C-alpha cells in the first residue's frame, strides 16, 4: 500500500485495511476472479486519486467511498459492479480523473454509472446559485431512475453515509442536507422499498433538525426496553404451543420499537406524549416456508393469533394479495393483547421480510431476472411504478421545480387501488380524484370526462377516490378540459396531459387570431410584418405574440382600425397601460433578539407559519420581497424551504437574555366540566411569566369544549411550563400549540 506512505495516514492505515477486508467478506466468495481483481484496482485507484484530501471530520477521504461501498454491499446486497462504482463514485467529480479514464480501466458499464453519479452530485455538494439549479439537480437525479437503477441506489448509499457523518459539517449545510434528505431521499428510499435506509435517514435528519426531541424519544425508547421485552414475552407465550402444532416453521418472533422519527411524527400530529403513542412498537412474526406456501401460512398464523387475542375491526391490512408498489408484502393486524393494550402484529415470510428491509430494487433485475425466475407480484408492482415514473419524466413542459414537486407528491406518496367496472385494477396516488382515473384509463377518456359513477353513485369529476372503489367514467363527444382542471387533478400524468391539450388548443386559437389581425392589416394596406406584430404585443404587454393572437381570437383586444393605427403610427410614445400600485412594504421588526452569525443588525421578521419562540432551534430564510423570515427548524414548511432553496438559508440563533415577549397561540380541547374555563384562565393569570391576550373557549353540544388562547411569553420553556399546568387542570384536556401550515 504505497499510497498510504504519508505520515498522517500511518495511523489510519490498519483501520483502512481492516475495513477493506470487511467489504470483501461482505461480498462473499461468489465474486468472480476478474471482478475481484477490479474491486482491488478500484480501491487502489480511488485511494490514489483522493490522496492528500481529508473529509471535514479529519479522516482521509478514501474512508468515504469505502463506507459507501460497504453500505451498497452490506445493506442493499448489491454486487461487484455496484461496489466498484461506489468506490469510484467521487473521483471524476473531485479529482483530475476523467470519465474516459474510468471507461478505459473499468469498462463502459462502470463508466456510465459513474457518469450518472457525477451528474447528480454536482448538484447537491455545491452551493446553488438559484432555485432552479437545485430543482434541476433533483430532476437529473430522477432522470437516472429511468436509466440504470444502480445510480440512484449508490446515490442513496452516498447520502446515507453523508448523513451519518453530518456532525462535522457547518450548521447551515447540516440543516440543508438534513432537509433535502427528509424531503426527497427518504421518500425515495421508501419507494424503492429500502426500509432500513429510509428509517435511518429520517432518524438522522431529526437528530440534526430537532436534537431535543430526538434525544428525548431515544432515551425513552431505551428506558422502556425492559418492560417492552417483558410484555412481548407475555404476548407470545400463549401462542407458542399452537404455532408448534401447525408445523409451520417460524423463523423468528420479535418485537421492535418503531423508528424515532415515526414516533416523533405521531406525537406531533396527535399532540400526545411518548407514553400515549400506543403503537410505539410492533410484534413481527416471520415464517420460513417456500414461496408457494408462504401466503397460506401467513393466514394460518393470523388465525392462531386472532383466536387468542381479539382483533381490532378495520385494522387488518392485507398486502399479501396485493403488495404495495414498493414491493412491500405482509399481513398487518392490531389485536387486544395482555393488559388490555392494542398491539400491532405484522406477519410475513422470510423472503418478504428481506424485501421489506433491503428493498426490492436491490434484488430486482440483478438477481431474480438473471437467474431466469418468474417475476413475483412484487417485481410487477415495482415495474408498474417505474413506468409511471418514466411517464412523468417524459413530460418536458414541466419546470424542474414543478416536476420535483409533482414527483414528490404523486410518485413518492402512498397509493390506493381502484377498479374498473370490468374488474381491472389500477394503482393511483392516495389523493387521486375521479378525473385522474379518467386519465389513467386513456388520455382521450380523461379529456372528455364529465363525471363518474363511483360504486354506482354519480359523482363530480373532483370526487376523491378511496381504496377499493369501483369507478366508471362518464364522457361526452368532445374534449372538455380547461385550465381549472389542472388544479382539480392530483396526478402528474393527468396534469401534463391537460397542459399538453391546452397548449395545442391555444396554438390553434392563436392561428385564428393571427388570421383575424392579418385581415385588419390588409384592409388598411398596412404591411403585416414581424416588427408591427412585436409593437402590438409589447404595447398590450403580452409575453409572446402567440398569447397576443390568442386574446385577439377571444375578442379581448379592440380590433378597430383606429386603435391599431394609433398604436402603430400616431403616438409611438403612448404611455403604456399603467402598472399596478407599488408593492406595499411591510414594516420590519428591528434587529434585537436574533443573531445571524456575528451580525446583530440584519432586519428580520418571525414567520407566521410557526411563530418561533426564544430558545427554540431556528433558521433564517431570505424571502424574495419580505426580508429575512425566521422559522423554527421543525416548522411544517421548513424541510421544503430548506431543500428547495437551501442557498437562501442563513444560520440564525437567539440572542441570550433578550427580554421581549412573544405571541403564542394554544388550542385546548377536552371534556366539559363545570368551571373549566375559569380554571384555565386562573392558571394563566397566576403564571407570572405569561400574559394572557385573549381566551376564547366554548362548550359544544356533545359535552366537549374547545377553543383558543393567545398569550405573550418570554421563551419556549415558559410556554412549555404553561402547557403542562393547563394539562394538569383536568384529566381530559388536550393542549397544543397552533401551527399554520401554508
Ligand atoms: Mn460521495
Do 397 and 496 touch, CB atoms closer than 8 A?
Answer: yes
Identify the pLDDT of residue 348: 93
How far away, in angstroms, is 279 Cα from ligand 1 center? Answer: 36
CB neighbours (10 Å) of residue 334? Answer: 20
Report, as residue numbers or ranges, the catalytic residues. 93-94
Instruction: Report the percentage of the chain scoring pLDDT > 90.
Output: 21
Going from N- to C-terminal start, the domains of the chain cover 6-209, 218-369, 499-575, 582-654, 662-737
How far away, in angstroms, is 120 Cα from ligand 1 center? Answer: 11
How far away, in angstroms, is 70 Cα from ligand 1 center? Answer: 13
Query: What is the rounded average pLDDT of the residues 414-428?
Result: 80
How far away, in angstroms, is 386 Cα from ligand 1 center? Answer: 25
pLDDT band (50, 70, 90) for residue 733: confident
As a three-state string, the secondary structure of 351-373 is HHHHHHHHCHHHHCCCCCCCCCC
Q: Which range has the top average pLDDT, 35-44, 404-413, 601-610?
A: 35-44
- Check residues 377 and 545 and name the one with the higher pLDDT: 545
State the Cα–Cα distance between residues 442 and 175, nearest whole angstrom: 43
For 496-548, write each residue's pLDDT tens digit.
Answer: 889 888 888 888 888 888 888 888 888 877 888 888 888 888 888 888 888 88
CATH fourth-level superfamily of 6-209: Hypothetical protein af1432 (1.10.3210.10)
Q: What is the pTM for the complete model shown?
A: 0.64
Identify the pLDDT of residue 63: 93
Neighbours of ion ligand 1 (CB under 5 A): 90, 158
Strand, coil or helix: what is 464?
strand
Q: How far is CA 432 from CA 422, 463, 736, in A?
A: 20, 9, 31
State the Cα–Cα distance between residues 238 and 241, nearest whole angstrom: 7
pLDDT band (50, 70, 90) for residue 669: confident
Query: What is the rounded average pLDDT of the residues 732-742?
Result: 70
For 615-660, write each residue's pLDDT tens digit.
Answer: 778 888 877 677 788 888 878 777 777 776 766 777 787 776 555 6
Query: What is the rounded average pLDDT of the residues 4-21?
Result: 75
pLDDT band (50, 70, 90) for residue 574: very low
For residue 580, pLDDT over 60 is answered with no
Query: What is the rounded average pLDDT of the residues 192-203?
Result: 90
- 80-84, 356-360, 364-368, 610-614 — which is least confidently predicted? 364-368
- Check residues 738 and 260 and name the one with the higher pLDDT: 260
How buried is residue 10: exposed, middle or buried, by Cβ count under 10 Å (0-12/13-18/19+)?
exposed
Strand, coil or helix: what is 450?
strand
* Fold annotation for 662-737: Alpha-Beta Plaits (3.30.70)
State the Cα–Cα distance between residues 542 and 561, nearest whole angstrom: 20
- Check residues 312 and 360 and name the one with the higher pLDDT: 312
Residue identified by cell 471530520 is 57
- 355-369, 602-616, 696-710 — which is least confidently predicted? 355-369
Strand, coil or helix: what is 572?
coil
Q: How far is CA 688 from CA 95, 667, 677, 683, 684, in A?
A: 61, 21, 19, 10, 8
State the Cα–Cα distance between residues 549 and 511, nearest whole angstrom: 7
State the Cα–Cα distance between residues 149 and 191, nearest whole angstrom: 13
- 156-170, 421-435, 450-464 — which is least confidently predicted? 421-435
Q: Among residues 317, 297, 295, 296, which one has the least CA distance to residue 247? A: 297
- 204-208, 440-444, 700-704 — which is least confidently predicted? 700-704
Identify the pLDDT of residue 1: 41
Do 542 and 551 touch, CB atoms closer than 8 A?
Answer: yes
Identify the pLDDT of residue 129: 44
State the Cα–Cα distance between residues 556 and 549, nearest whole angstrom: 10
For 586-625, write each residue's pLDDT tens digit.
Answer: 333 334 677 776 565 677 888 877 778 777 788 888 776 7
How far away, in angstroms, is 71 Cα from ligand 1 center? Answer: 12
Mean pLDDT of the chain: 80
State the Cα–Cα distance between residues 592 and 615, nearest whole angstrom: 14
Q: Torsion angle, CA of 75/80/81/83, rounded to 10 degrees?
A: 50
Q: Among residues 662, 661, 657, 653, which one has the least CA distance to residue 599? A: 653
For 45-104, write each residue's pLDDT tens digit.
Answer: 999 999 888 888 788 899 999 999 999 998 888 889 999 999 999 998 888 889 899 999
Strand, coil or helix: what is 448?
coil
How far away, in angstroms, is 10 Cα from ligand 1 center? Answer: 23
DSSP 273: -
Q: Does domain 218-369 have CATH number 3.30.1490.190?
A: no
Rounded to the nearest 5°, which phi and psi values hold at 460? Answer: -75, 170
Q: Give strand pairing partners of 736.
A: 667
* 385 Cβ contact partners less than 8 Å away, ≥ 6 residues apart: 191, 325, 326, 411
- Give one DSSP letter per residue of 1-31, joined into a string: -GGG-SHHHHHHHHHHHHHHHHHHHHHGGGS
Compute the residue count for the chain. Answer: 742
For residue 556, pLDDT over 60 is answered with yes
How far away, in angstroms, is 67 Cα from ligand 1 center? Answer: 10
Q: Where are the beta strands (DSSP E) in 602-703?
A: 604-606, 618-622, 628-632, 649-651, 653-654, 662-671, 691-699
Give me the sheet containing 331-337, strands edge to edge. Answer: 250-257, 281-287, 341-349, 331-337, 317-318
How far away, in angstroms, is 291 Cα from ligand 1 center? Answer: 38
Cell of 493: 400524468
For 134-185, write each residue's pLDDT tens digit.
Answer: 666 677 777 777 677 888 889 999 999 999 999 888 887 888 888 888 888 8
How far away, in angstroms, is 390 Cα from ligand 1 center? Answer: 26
State the Cα–Cα distance between residues 508 and 583, nearest whole angstrom: 36
Identify the pLDDT of residue 363: 60
* 688 Cβ contact partners less than 8 Å away, ≥ 6 residues apart: none
C-alpha count within 13 angstroms, C-beta hemisphere, residue 69: 30
Amino acid at each position: 500500500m504505497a499510497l498510504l506512505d504519508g505520515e498522517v495516514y500511518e495511523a489510519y492505515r490498519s483501520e483502512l485495511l481492516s475495513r477493506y477486508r470487511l467489504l470483501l467478506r461482505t461480498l462473499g466468495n461468489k465474486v468472480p476472479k476478474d471482478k475481484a481483481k477490479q474491486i482491488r484496482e478500484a480501491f487502489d485507484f480511488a485511494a490514489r486519486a483522493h490522496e492528500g484530501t481529508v473529509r471535514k471530520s479529519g479522516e482521509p477521504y478514501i474512508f468515504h467511498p469505502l463506507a459507501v461501498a460497504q453500505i451498497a454491499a452490506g445493506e442493499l446486497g448489491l454486487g461487484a459492479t455496484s461496489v466498484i462504482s461506489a468506490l469510484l463514485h467521487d473521483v471524476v467529480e473531485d479529482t483530475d480523473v476523467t470519465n474516459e479514464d474510468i471507461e478505459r480501466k473499468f469498462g463502459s458499464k462502470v463508466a456510465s454509472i459513474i457518469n450518472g453519479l457525477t451528474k447528480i452530485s454536482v448538484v447537491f455538494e455545491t452551493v446553488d446559485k438559484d432555485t432552479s439549479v437545485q430543482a434541476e439537480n433533483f430532476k437529473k437525479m430522477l432522470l437516472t431512475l429511468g436509466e440504470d437503477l444502480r445510480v440512484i441506489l449508490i446515490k442513496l448509499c452516498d447520502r446515507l453515509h453523508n448523513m451519518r457523518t453530518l456532525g462535522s459539517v457547518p450548521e447551515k449545510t447540516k440543516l440543508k442536507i438534513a432537509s433535502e434528505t427528509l424531503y426527497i431521499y427518504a421518500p425515495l428510499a421508501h419507494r424503492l422499498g429500502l426500509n432500513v435506509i429510509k428509517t435511518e435517514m429520517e432518524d438522522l435528519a431529526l437528530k440534526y433538525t430537532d436534537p431535543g426531541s430526538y434525544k428525548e424519544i431515544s432515551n425513552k425508547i431505551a428506558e422502556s426496553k425492559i418492560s417492552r421485552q417483558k410484555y412481548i414475552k407475555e404476548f407470545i407465550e400463549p401462542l407458542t404451543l399452537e404455532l408448534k402444532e401447525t408445523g409451520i416453521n417460524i423463523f423468528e418472533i420479535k418485537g421492535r420499537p418503531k423508528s424515532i422519527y415515526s414516533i416523533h411524527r405521531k406525537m406531533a400530529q396527535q399532540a400526545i406524549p411518548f407514553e400515549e403513542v400506543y403503537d410505539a412498537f410492533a410484534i413481527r412474526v416471520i415464517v420460513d416456508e417456500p414461496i408457494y406456501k408462504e401466503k397460506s401460512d401467513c393466514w394460518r398464523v393470523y388465525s392462531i393469533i386472532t383466536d387468542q387475542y381479539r382483533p381490532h375491526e378495520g385494522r387488518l391490512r392485507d398486502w399479501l394479495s396485493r403488495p404495495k408498489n414498493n414491493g412491500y408484502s405482509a399481513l398487518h393486524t392490531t389485536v387486544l393483547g395482555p393488559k388490555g393494550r392494542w398491539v400491532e402484529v405484522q406477519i410475513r415470510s422470510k423472503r418478504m421480510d428481506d424485501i421489506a428491509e433491503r428493498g426490492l430494487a436491490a434484488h430486482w433485475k440483478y438477481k431474480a431476472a438473471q437467474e431466469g425466475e418468474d417475476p413475483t407480484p412484487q417485481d410487477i408492482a415495482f415495474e408498474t411504478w417505474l413506468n409511471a415514473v418514466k411517464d412523468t419524466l417524459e413530460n418536458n413542459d414541466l419546470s424542474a421545480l414543478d416536476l420535483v414537486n409533482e414527483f414528490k407528491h404523486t410518485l413518492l406518496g402512498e397509493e390506493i387501488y381502484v377498479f374498473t367496472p370490468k374488474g381491472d385494477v389500477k394503482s393511483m396516488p392516495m389523493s387521486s380524484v375521479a378525473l385522474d382515473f379518467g386519465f389513467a384509463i386513456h388520455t382521450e377518456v380523461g379529456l372528455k370526462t364529465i363525471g363518474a359513477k363511483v360504486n354506482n353513485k354519480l359523482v363530480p369529476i373532483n370526487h376523491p377516490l378511496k381504496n377499493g372503489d369501483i369507478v366508471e367514467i362518464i364522457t361526452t363527444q368532445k374534449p372538455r378540459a380547461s385550465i381549472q382542471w389542472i388544479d382539480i387533478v392530483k396526478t402528474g400524468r393527468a396534469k401534463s396531459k391537460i397542459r399538453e391539450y391546452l397548449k395545442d388548443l391555444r396554438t390553434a386559437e392563436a392561428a385564428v387570431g393571427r388570421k383575424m389581425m392579418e385581415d385588419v392589416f390588409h384592409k388598411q394596406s398596412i404591411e403585416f410584418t414581424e416588427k408591427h406584430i412585436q409593437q402590438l404585443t409589447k404595447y398590450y404587454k403580452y409575453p409572446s405574440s402567440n398569447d397576443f393572437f390568442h386574446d385577439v381570437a377571444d375578442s379581448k383586444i379592440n380590433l378597430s382600425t383606429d386603435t391599431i393605427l394609433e398604436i402603430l403610427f400616431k403616438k409611438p410614445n403612448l404611455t403604456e397601460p399603467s402598472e399596478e400600485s407599488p408593492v406595499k412594504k411591510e414594516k420590519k421588526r428591528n434587529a434585537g433578539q436574533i443573531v445571524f452569525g456575528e451580525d446583530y443588525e440584519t432586519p428580520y421578521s418571525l414567520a407566521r407559519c410557526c411563530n418561533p419562540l426564544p430558545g427554540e432551534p431556528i433558521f433564517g430564510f431570505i424571502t424574495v420581497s419580505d426580508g429575512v423570515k425566521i422559522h423554527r427548524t421543525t416548522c411544517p414548511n421548513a424541510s421544503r424551504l430548506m431543500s428547495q432553496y437551501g442557498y437562501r438559508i442563513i444560520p440564525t440563533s437567539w440572542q441570550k437574555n433578550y427580554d421581549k415577549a412573544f405571541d403564542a397561540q394554544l388550542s385546548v380541547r377536552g371534556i366539559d366540566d363545570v368551571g373549566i374555563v375559569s380554571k384555565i384562565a386562573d392558571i394563566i393569570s397566576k403564571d407570572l411569566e405569561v400574559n394572557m391576550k385573549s381566551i376564547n373557549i366554548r362548550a359544544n353540544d356533545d359535552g366537549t369544549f374547545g377553543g383558543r388562547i393567545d398569550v405573550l411569553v418570554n421563551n419556549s420553556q415558559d410556554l412549555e411550563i404553561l402547557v403542562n399546568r393547563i394539562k394538569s387542570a383536568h384529566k381530559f384536556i388536550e393542549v397544543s400549540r397552533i401551527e399554520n401550515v401554508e
